[in-house]
């Protein structure tokens, strides 16, 4: 952006995931949306402000969906960690052991 003017180059998404890990579906959905998003232009003043706010609302919904999926994933991992003890030894869930002690 030399001299404060738009270069006209389209910005691509972040580089591919390192380590060959699979990208979560929600993140892939956000990246795809960002690649496709277009703003309605106005003759004077750049872009239509209402259209920009609409796009921001759509993006917020995608991020909210991704956050909820991540919360579910973390809760499952926490539950699994609580149910297992040291490696190779499984613990009984609380309240599920032998009552005689």
Q: Is residue 95 part of a domain?
A: no
Look at phi and psi of residue 22 and say left if phi exceeds 0, alpha if psi is from -120 to 50, else beta: beta
The label of the residue with tokens 């259209």 reads 51
* Structural domain that includes position 41: 23-83
Quote the tokens at residue 25. Answer: 């579906």
Q: Is residue 73 part of a domain?
A: yes
Q: Is residue 97 part of a domain?
A: no
Q: How many domains, the chain?
A: 1
pLDDT of residue 99: 55
Report d(CA 12, CA 18) in Å as an integer: 17
Q: Is residue 69 part of a domain?
A: yes
Q: Which residue has the higher pLDDT, 35 or 4?
A: 35
pLDDT digits (tens, 9 = 90+) for 43-99: 887 888 888 889 899 999 999 999 999 999 999 999 988 888 666 555 555 555 555
Quote the tokens at residue 82. Answer: 């609580």
Q: Is residue 3 part of a domain?
A: no
Q: Which residue has the higher pLDDT, 73 or 7?
A: 73
Q: Is residue 66 part of a domain?
A: yes
pLDDT at 6 over 50: no
Quote the tokens at residue 78. Answer: 């926490």
């Amino acid at each position: 952006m030399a001299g404060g003017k738009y270069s006209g180059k389209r910005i691509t998404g972040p580089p591919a995931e390192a380590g060959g890990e699979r990208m979560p579906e929600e993140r892939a959905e956000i990246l795809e949306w960002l690649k496709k998003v277009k703003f309605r232009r106005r003759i004077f003043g750049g872009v239509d402000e209402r259209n920009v706010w609409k796009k921001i609302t759509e993006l917020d919904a995608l991020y909210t969906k991704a956050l909820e999926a991540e919360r579910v994933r973390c809760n499952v991992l926490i539950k699994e960690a609580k149910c297992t003890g040291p490696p190779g030894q499984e613990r009984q869930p609380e309240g599920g052991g032998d009552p005689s002690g």
